[in-house]
Amino acid sequence: MPWHATILSLFPGMFPGPLEHSLAGRALKENRWSLDTVQIRDFATDKHRTVDDTPLGGGAGMVIKPDVMAAALDSVADATGQPDVRPRIYFSPRGRLLDQAFVRDLAAGPGAVMVCGRYEGLDQRVIDSHKLVEVSIGDYILAGGEMAALTTLDAVIRLLDGVMGKVESHENDSFETGLLEHPHYTQPRDWNGHLAPDVLLSGHHAQISDWRQMMAEADTKERRPDLWQKYLQKQGKSTD
Ligand code: ADE
């Protein structure tokens, strides 16, 4: 069984969407990962197929009903007749921030169940009772969890076995080392008067490696002081 995602959404037509193209699309055709979708609305019980209701206590927006989402989640858990050990993720701006360590853990497992909300949110009781891990992809508000699920899938799929050519290509990824990656250059050496750094043409591997490390550190320090502080702490260096 390849790495398998089950997506619960009111807009299942959004999947695989962009993941049908490029690296993920080829890997999907090669059965290195697979996907199925569940239409949350199929679990509504009234004749209007209602999935949401007004928030208790008042306020704007609508909240997805716990009974509807619980029925949708239970249908996934019961589908194979075997215990489903995949983590269940609920995408929400209230969640823990997605990072490369979380992506790596997901890719190392059997797959994920991904719950995409719309409206103001999902009744907290179903998040608690079904042990949903709340994940945010950043400090901004999306119209729903679908784009967050697509983003997470994109990050996971490139780590699956056989999806990317060279293993080294993710060992040096930004965040695997704790630093942003160094900048990249290709031919021509002189592009409209903008010269590529000489060291990259020197053929001197140790110097190139030192230069890349220096650039990675300088750029991380300038652009992402939060990552820089963490990096220093990990190296056991005092922070400056
Ligand atoms: N749903 C709405 N905004 C979101 C975000 N930033 N991350 C994950 N899911 C979301």
pLDDT at 169: 63
Mean pLDDT within 172-198: 93
Q: Using DSSP, how many helices (H) and how many strands (E) does the chain show?
A: 8, 10
pLDDT confidence tier of residue 206, bands split at 50, 70 and 90: very high
Q: Give tens-digit pLDDT for 17-53.
A: 999 999 999 999 999 999 999 999 999 999 999 999 9
Whether 143 lines ligand 1, by a CB cut-off of 6 Å, is: no
CA of 211 to the centre of ligand 1 (A): 37
Question: What's the 152 CA to ligand 1 centre distance in angstroms?
Answer: 11
User: Does the structure show a pLDDT above 70 at 240?
Assistant: no
Q: Using CA positions, which residue lies closest to atom 2 of ligand 1? A: 142
Mean pLDDT of the chain: 95
Poorest-confidence range of 82-86, 173-177, 181-185, 233-237? 173-177
Q: 52 in helix, strand or coil? A: strand
Other beta carbons within 10 Å of 126:
21
Instruction: Determine if ligand 1 sits within 6 Å of the CB of residue 97.
Output: no
The stretch 129-158 carries a mean pLDDT of 98
User: How far apart, in whole angstroms, are the C-alpha atoms of residue 128 and residue 55?
Assistant: 17
Q: Is the pLDDT of residue 79 over 90?
A: no
**What is the average pLDDT across 73-85?**
89
9 lines ligand 1 (CB under 6 A): no
> Ligand 1 centre and the CA of 178: distance in Å?
24
Residue 96 Cβ contacting ligand 1 at under 6 Å: no
State the Cα–Cα distance between residues 231 and 223, nearest whole angstrom: 13
Domains of the chain, start order: 3-157 (3.40.1280.10), 172-234 (1.10.1270.20)
- pLDDT at site 12: 98
Considering the chain, what percentage of its residues have pLDDT values greater than 90? Answer: 88
